[in-house]
Amino acid sequence: MLHRKTYHVKDLQGEIEAHTDVYHNLDENSQKILRSLEGSDDAVLLQRRLDNMNFKWSELRKKSLNIRSHLEASSDQWKRLHLSLQELLVWLQLKDDELSRQAPIGGDFPAVQKQNDVHRAFKRELKTKEPVIMSTLETVRIFLTEQPLEGLEKLYQEPRELPPEERAQNVTRLLRKQAEEVNTEWEKLNLHSADWQRKIDETLERLQELQEATDELDLKLRQAEVIKGSWQPVGDLLIDSLQDHLEKVKALRGEIAPLKENVSHVNDLARQLTTLGIQLSPYNLSTLEDLNTRWKLLQ
C-alpha cells in the first residue's frame, strides 16, 4: 500500500541518519583495535567483520539513495501525467465547442458539401490525436496499477492537517478521475462527430434528390413552355384554325398531366427536409416557388 511504502522509506532513512555517527565511531574504534592486534589471528577475524559491516553499510546507503531517486521519478511522472490529462481535457472541450459551431445544417447542396469538407478535416484531427489520448490513458493505467506512488502526498494541495495517507489517496483519486473524464469526453466527442456526419450524409442525399427532381421538373416545364410559346395568340386566330388550336391545347394538357406527379414529388421532398429541421436556402425556396408558379400557368 502507498502509505506503508512511504513510512518504510522514512523509517529506513531515519535509521540510517540515526546510526551514521554510531557507524563512524565504531569504524574508528575498530581501526584502533586492528592496529593494536596487528599480525594476530584476531586481527584477521576482526578485519573480515569490519569489511562485512562496511559492505552492508554501503549497500544500505545505495538502497536509500535509489529509493529516493525512484520516488522523485514517480513524482515527476505524476506531475507530467496530471498536466497531460489537464491539457487533453481542455483540448477535448475546445473541439466539442468547435464541432457544435459547425451546426446548423445548410439549406442547399453546396453549403452542406462545404460543411462536409470542414467536418472531414475535423475528423482527421481526431484521428491524429487518438494515439496521443490512448497512449496517455494507458500510461496512467500502468502508473496507477504498477508504479509505486510513495511521496505523492506532497504534491496534493490539501490542508496540512490531512494525514499523508489521505493526501496520497487523494492524489491517486485525482489522477484516476482525470483519466476517466478524458476517456468519457473522448467517447462523447466521437459520438457527437459521428452523429453530425450522419446528419450531413442524410442531408446531402436528400438535397441531391431534391436537386435532381427540380432539374427534371424544370426541363419538362421548359419543354411545355416552348410548345405553348409557339402558339399564336388566341385573338389572332382565324375561325378556321380554332379547332386546330383546341386540339393542340388538348394534346398539351395530356402531355403535362404527368408533370403533376413531378410537382408533388418536388414539394414532398422539400417538406421532408423541413420536417428534419433543415431550413432551405433562399435559392432553393425561390426555385420551388418558381416551379410551382410556372406549373400553375401551364394548366
The domains located in the chain, with CATH, are 206-298 (1.20.58)
Mean pLDDT value of segment 216-233: 73
**From residue 270, how far is each of 16, 113, 115, 153, 226 by CA, in Å?**
84, 18, 20, 63, 27
pLDDT band at 18, cuts 50/70/90?
low
pLDDT in tens, 241-271: 555 555 565 655 656 667 788 888 889 999 9
Higher-scoring residue by pLDDT: 233, 211: 211
Mean pLDDT value of segment 113-130: 95
pLDDT band at 226, cuts 50/70/90?
confident
Phi/psi of residue 118, nearest 5 degrees = -65, -45
pLDDT above 50: residue 189 = yes
Which region among 166-180, 192-206, 220-234 has the lowest average model confidence (pLDDT)?
220-234
Number of CB atoms found within 10 A of residue 48's CB: 10
Instruction: Evaluate whether 240 touches 181 at the Cβ level (below 8 Å).
Output: no
**From residue 255, how far is each of 132, 248, 289 by CA, in Å?**
64, 10, 22
Burial 178-194 (b: 16+ CB within 10 A, else e): bbeebeebbeebeeebe
Q: Taking the CA of residue 4 as centre, how many other CA atoms within 13 Å lie in the half-sphere pointing to its CB?
A: 1
Instruction: Evaluate whether 189 touches 99 at the Cβ level (below 8 Å).
Output: yes
Q: Given this model, what pLDDT does residue 190 score? A: 96
Nearest to 256 by CA among 291, 286, 232, 207: 291
pLDDT above 90: residue 52 = no
**From residue 175, how far is each of 7, 116, 147, 150, 253 by CA, in Å?**
22, 37, 13, 15, 77
Higher-scoring residue by pLDDT: 291, 11: 291
